[in-house]
Amino acid sequence: MIEEIRSARDMEQLVLEWGFLPFFKNDIPGFSIEEHTPPELWYDSESGDWAPWDWKGPVARTGTNIYGKIFWKKAGFVSMEWFPDFANYRRDGYDFDARFDDGLASYKDKELFDAIERHGSLQTGQLKKLCGYGGKDGKKGYETAITRLQMQTYISVADFDYATDRHGNAYGWGIARYATPESRLGYEAVTAAYSRTPEQSLGRMLAYLQKRLPQATEKQLLKLLRM
């Protein structure tokens, strides 16, 4: 078992071992990438590097997991072993179009979702421009809507784009690139748990996490899994 995260490979392996893994320390002790990363790697005060932040993009690209703001509206990973049940529960049995048709999703959410689906993937800046966010007269509420779509599992972070210097070296903070899980991993893989009811998926995940995380209460685990 991975005890410390010292590379992108370690991070991916811990995600696969645990199935669910928040990025940041939370109210479940020992249940985060932050707590499994040595302090000197979490932030190097001399170089200014944040190693785990550089690793999350390569891990998200592997196709073995889904990454995004999915736990308490904060970042985390779910392995593909568990993502179908996670999506089935969070979506409550709805594909996005059906959710919109039933009046359970806003036009603002649909506009963002449709743009991402139509283009395959879009960087944050591209998505904002296409949908009219930003600037003096631009729409408001982008972060709320894009986080909601991630929490509902209709979109995820596929990768991060970086600015490059004249030598081709990446620098600065990565800019999120969004895609639908279906476009990256295939519709059948993502919807593999649709034969179960959302509550059955919740029960499977809860039973697993109670064994994996005996230090957590049922209330804490339900808070993790619910919207």
The full 3-state SS of 66-120, as one line of letters, equals: EEEEEECCEEEEEECCCHHHHHHHHHCCCCHHHHHHCCCCCHHHHHHHHHHHHHC
Distance CA 32, CA 18 (A): 10
Distance CA 186, CA 14 (A): 23
pLDDT at position 171, please?
Answer: 59
Distance CA 112, CA 150 (A): 11
What tokens appear for 27 in the block? 């109210």
Interval 85-115: pLDDT, tens: 999 999 999 999 999 999 999 999 999 999 9
Q: Tell me, what amino acid is at 81? A: E
pLDDT at position 136, please?
Answer: 82
Q: What is the pLDDT confidence band of residue 168, given thresholds at 50, 70 and 90?
A: low
Distance CA 162, CA 206 (A): 37
What tokens appear for 41 in the block? 């790697």
Tokens 């421009």 -> residue? 129
Q: Could you state, in order of their start, the residue ranges of all structural domains in the chain? A: 8-213
- Report how far apart the first and last C-alpha atoms of the chain are (Å, whole number): 30
Query: For residues 99 and 91, is the Cβ–Cβ distance under 8 A?
Result: yes
**pTM, two decimal places:** 0.93
- Asked whether the predicted pLDDT for residue 11 surpasses 80, the reply is yes
Considering just the CA atoms, what is the radius of gyration of the chain in Å? 18
Kindly give, in sequence order, each residue whose CB lies less than 8 Å from that of residue 35, ignoring residues fewer than 6 positions away. 25, 29
